[in-house]
Structure 1
């Protein structure tokens, strides 16, 4: 009998434990959730409080700055004009070479101001995104603007109409710079390349590669023999403008905020930013030493010219292409897309022991109407076009 009571008591105890333990687990979980929510609320409240304090401090700082702005200027300062009209931030302004005009960029437009009267003369619109840089040509006849829409526009300053739209970069334009003679425009982009443009024709002459991050600033030397480029990759590169090779690399750390550089307007002196853009360094450059120092960077030079065969479908472009490239003639079906053959290839010796591979490429473009729009994208790269048609 005693044993039965002990077994019964043991079963009762086990039953109690098996029912209480889950309740304890649930209670612990609920307590943990409650503490988590309370902590989250406190964290959220603290974060909101910090944001509110930061906003109040910024507003207070802006009020104080505006109040100081109303004070009289220092002796010797005479306010000529206050130019108003932009509806967004104005990151920068640029004087025309003769000082008669001032260009200001804001948003996706540029305003031109008469500096004598202070009146707005023109508003230049056409870019579809934020304008990041503007630069006057040395003679003042052109104004270049680079934009986040990946294009550069050259504006004729007599008509204020776009003369050329330069396309070729794959990301936002960060900086533009004119050569001293005004014949070339250099552009630096978030795509890590520098591109050189013929200002007269608007055609791309060359793409310079070497930087591994955004190109933030460009500057030509006064004699036009060097181009300096600054990048978020922490380097300044000097390019020989005769052959467009990197002739020197200067390590200058960047804050990834804004990294600038500038050549002296008359001397071969370069100003750069270093130590994460917190100091300015002035460099006196010895051109002969820089150009005669062997480059530690291996480079391969390659140029090509494109000859394109165009015409309607079925007029014999593919067969002609085979014959021109020295291949035996063979009947072909109508080409869809394009075919590319090497028409001629040679290695040429250049000055200084350098070599360059030059090729002439023959493009056979499809004649079907559906492909013609795609082919138009490549026509600015073509040196010669051969039109093939059926004379029957």
Structure 2
């Protein structure tokens, strides 16, 4: 057991390693809610890999399909079982991660056992696999009819040429038909092993009891421990696949997204990249937050609606920035956004605005530490980066105005793409 103390935050992290499962406990004394999040470092990007001396290509959407399937148990659906133990549960698949979670105020160990049971002991007979194809087929149809999601996925296809991030997380109607019991077993055995898992536990949790429970419980399991798969990725150039993608749907308000792609150099350390990403997020806030004069200007001019947003996604293999939302004037909004970015790249930011934003960002982060869900998800998101979110205040403090001005230079015109959905 390893303990890391953060006196200034009145927080601590306890790390244990029962049977090679990486477990992080964040005790929150006096909190009623407990939150458990089991993450597996596999996502929709992982469709080509080498494992046990063989190269494998698996169908698009298999990680998401498996996530759905693991909730099916011989004794009933896991959602129902969690509900009977007064817990709420969910799961999600991203491009790089699959996560299973529950929150509860009671029956903590019973719910933790159930979580580990259904993830570590898969149950997918062929009839369940075939039934799930129909469920996911309907989900794909719903996504195709969602203009905001369609605009987002079209943007990724415009930004990326070869990388599988450009593909749908749920796959396609054609790819899910190719998924079989055999390929699911192969995928599960390759990726669902302790070296690729992180269990995050947050709440009023006694670490000794939890360690004893996990050690005893896992000793009884047939634990999948083999060599980890080697992920195979195509080369992704710096240029974009298409500078503009348009699509027609029966909608009243057009949807617009402007995106910028960035392929990081392997010579830049993970620590340096996290600092760069944090600086870029600050730059985006300085440019587009509701507090800015620019936001008020484009809102009053009718270029944006209340759902306007912006974000930066940083993964180890790629990064991208997205800005936009619903708008009746996509061309005018695009021009305004590009001009705002260009002006910042040429003139920089005001130091006073930067210092105020840093204080507000820190305050918002500190307030969020009262949310067990926020804390758990932050620890899971940063686990592959070997970074503890409680180190975020120090990271934020280290960022200078010069760092922010350098970060905004990453948004290059030649690495940008636009996605528009209109009627």
TM-score by length of structure 1 reads: 0.21
Greater helix share, 1 or 2? 2
Greater strand share, 1 or 2? 1
Q: Answer with 1 or 2: which has the greater Rg.
A: 1
TM-score by length of structure 2 reads: 0.20
Identify which of structures 1 and 2 has the higher relative contact order when contacts are C-alpha pairs closer than 8 Å and 6+ apart: 2
